[in-house]
A and B are shown apart, each in its own frame.
Chain A
Amino acid sequence: QVQLQESGPGLVTPSETLSLTCLVSGGSLMNYYWSWIRQSPGKELEWIGYVSDTGATHYNPSLQSRVNIFIDAFKNELSLQMSSVTAADTAVYYCARHAGTGLDRRAFDIWGQGTKVTVSS
């Protein structure tokens, strides 16, 4: 059974770069798309961006200038980097797998447990 586990620093200083990793276990990264999604303290969910198994990416325009998502197929993990963070980036960050692609895309069908990130000095 595929499981996702996010990891990273719980506390990040304003203006610094946030780096998170999502380890995929029980299955392969290949043949799937993978997204990062965050949930603010007010509980709103925001899609950050996705990466394909070939490394193609697509980002939310609201975050595009600050975000980079990439995969490491050998380690079976995906990563998120977000630069110039502010308090507004404080959230729980999730990685999630896409079920289906193209017109067959169905849902984010598997989610990690999430990792809480606080941006504060």
Chain B
Amino acid sequence: DIVMTQSPDSLAVSLGERATINCKSSRTISYSSNNKDYLTWFQQRPGQPPKVLIYWASTRESGVPDRFSGSVSGMNYTLTISSLQAEDVAVYYCQQFYNTPWTFGQGTRVEV
């Protein structure tokens, strides 16, 4: 199985400041044939199901605010919240959609 490792486990950020979450895959999750990285970022607020923010490592889902962005460097993936808002307090998960069994990171809790 591909192991997805997130860091840090938790993060405290002031409102309006930048939050950065990292996710490392144990193997490649990128197809050279289409140059796509099969990495999804989710946000999960308390009592809610996960909500997709970013797919293919850097493509924002429709309706997601542009303060959320994703990037990739090798097998290291980053989710950035450029200016933290109160409603962004949540747990964030990465997930590889490259190979079954599809696997998730352990989650990163973002607090104010």
Contacts and interface: CB of A to CB of B under 8 A. Distances in A.
Interface in A30-47: 43-47
A94 interface: yes
Given A44-B107, A103-B33, A111-B49, A60 B101 contact: yes
A111 B59 CA distance: 19
Interface string B24-66: 0000000101101010100000001111100110010100000
8 contacts: A44-B106, A47-B100, A58-B100, A60-B101, A99-B55, A106-B97, A107-B61, A109-B61
Contact of B50 (A99, A105, A108): A108
A106 B40 CA distance: 8
B91 A43 contact: yes
Contacts of A61: 101
A114 B100 contact: no
Interface residues of B, number: 26
Interface of B: 31, 33-34, 36, 38, 40, 48-52, 55-56, 59, 61, 91, 93, 95, 97, 100-104, 106-107
Given A103-B36, A107-B55, A45 B104 contact: yes
A62 interface: yes
B31 A103 contact: yes
Q: Which of B38, B49, B95 has the most CB of A within 10 A?
A: B49
B95 to A, nearest CB: 7
Given A62-B101, A94-B49, A105 B91 contact: no
A105 to B, nearest CB: 6
Interface string A88-121: 0000001010010001011111011110000000
A43 B50 contact: no
A46 B50 CA distance: 12
A112 B34 CA distance: 31
A112 B54 CA distance: 19
